[in-house]
Amino acid sequence: MNKSQDLPRLIEVLLNTERIVVLTGAGISAESGIPTFRGEEGLWKKYRAEQLATPSAFSQNPHLVWEWYDWRRGIINSKTPNPGHHTLAKWGKRFPFFTVITQNIDGFHQKAGSSDVLELHGNIWKMRCTQKGTLMENNEVPLKLIPPICPKCGALLRPHVVWFGESLDFSILTKAFQLSSKSQVMFVIGTSAVVQPAASLPFSAADAGAKIVEINPEPTPLSSHADFSFRGRSGKILPMIDAELEKAEKHSEG
Ligand code: BV8
């Protein structure tokens, strides 16, 4: 087994760890049946996310952009979190300091029971008024009106998500970097690690001395910097690590 898939060594590290952050991307929800961005199924009609998840696409054609989000809301609404999400929720109760920093907007970490979740790119069930910024929750599937309008002032509503070319919420991003640089271990799960500024978080953790554990069936720009790199699906790998951790805990309790 090559060093980077050294499970016993990872378990040894985890037994002596209190502070963990996890960065997740679309890949952790892939086994729930939600299309990733850059996989084959990431296409919608003939568009890619980078063409639709932008302010200019929305101002040019709010109806088309809302059709895309309505389609995604429909898929997310019909799926459930998978064992990868549930393992992280379990670890959130096991480790004293445990935060999930997600790039995903599907809300599946919270649905699986994770309580400390930072949503870097927003949430697909939230909308905000383009005029007044009023924030609201809307779980209609399918949307009765496309594009939806603000019940308060009648202006267009937009998804409460961060589009390409838009800045992330400053306080959320600051907290994400602070937690990363204080972590002892950072798991990086199901992300192609190309979208900034999220992709810089693992480097901030590593610079502060954290061990980086990547879980992804494919190599990414982060792989060569990771201390551990498990080539596989998170819905399988995370429960496997959890089972080994439980065994080691029982053994160390004597
Ligand atoms: C910003 C919300 C300041 C919306 C999303 C530097 C260079 C070049 C460009 C930039 C740069 N800095 C900033 C930019 C611009 C841009 C950017 O990074 N572009 C990329 C394409 C290079 N960044 C931004 O615009 C950000 N804003 O920086 O503000 C600024 C302002 C103006 C100009 C410059 C800077 C905002 C980025 C947020 C965009 N919003 N989502 C929505 O969802 O509709 S991004 C979207 O793609 C997702 O949120 C996700 O975060 C992101 C990345 O996708 P992944 O999650 O990684 O998914 P992907 O499909 O790519 O990969 C899936 C992975 O899972 C794969 O590796 C696969 O192997 C793996 N996998 C598959 N199955 C499994 C699995 N893993 C485990 N188990 C499995 N079963």
Instruction: Per-residue pLDDT tens, the chain, 254 aa: give them.
Output: 455 689 999 999 999 999 999 999 999 999 999 988 776 666 566 778 889 999 999 999 999 999 999 999 999 999 999 999 999 999 999 999 999 999 999 999 999 999 999 999 999 999 999 999 999 999 999 999 999 999 999 999 999 999 999 999 999 999 999 999 999 999 999 999 999 999 999 999 999 999 999 999 999 999 999 999 999 999 999 999 999 999 999 988 87
Q: Quick one: pLDDT at residue 1?
A: 44
Q: CA-CA distance, 226 to 206, in Å (whole number)?
A: 9
Token pair listed for 96? 């004293």
172: Cα within 13 Å, side-chain hemisphere: 17
Query: Containing H/E element for 97?
Result: strand 97-102
Q: CA-CA distance, 101 to 21, in Å (whole number)?
A: 7
Domains in the chain, start-ordered, CATH in brackets?
Answer: 3-33+82-121+169-253 (3.40.50.1220), 40-78+142-161 (3.30.1600.10)
Pocket test for ligand 1, best of 196, 200, 238 (most atoms within 8 A of CB): 196
Non-local (6+) Cβ contacts of 204 within 8 A are 177, 180, 181
Q: Quick one: pLDDT at residue 181?
A: 98
Q: CA-CA distance, 128 to 137, in Å (whole number)?
A: 9
Nearest CA to ligand 1 atom 60: 37
Q: Is 85 a residue of the active site?
A: no
Q: CA-CA distance, 38 to 52, in Å (whole number)?
A: 14
The closest alpha carbon to 132, from 103, 155, 104, belongs to 155
Can you tell me which atom of ligand 1 is nearest the CA of 25?
A: 56
Q: CA-CA distance, 184 to 202, in Å (whole number)?
A: 12
Please give all residues whose beta carbon lies within 6 A of any atom in ligand 1, as ranges. 25-28, 30-31, 36-39, 42, 49, 53, 103, 105, 121, 161-167, 190-192, 194-198, 215-218, 220, 233-235
Let me know the angle formed at the C-alpha of 179 by 177 and 183, rounded to the nearest 5 degrees: 120
Q: Quick one: pLDDT at residue 43?
A: 56
Q: CA-CA distance, 109 to 86, in Å (whole number)?
A: 8
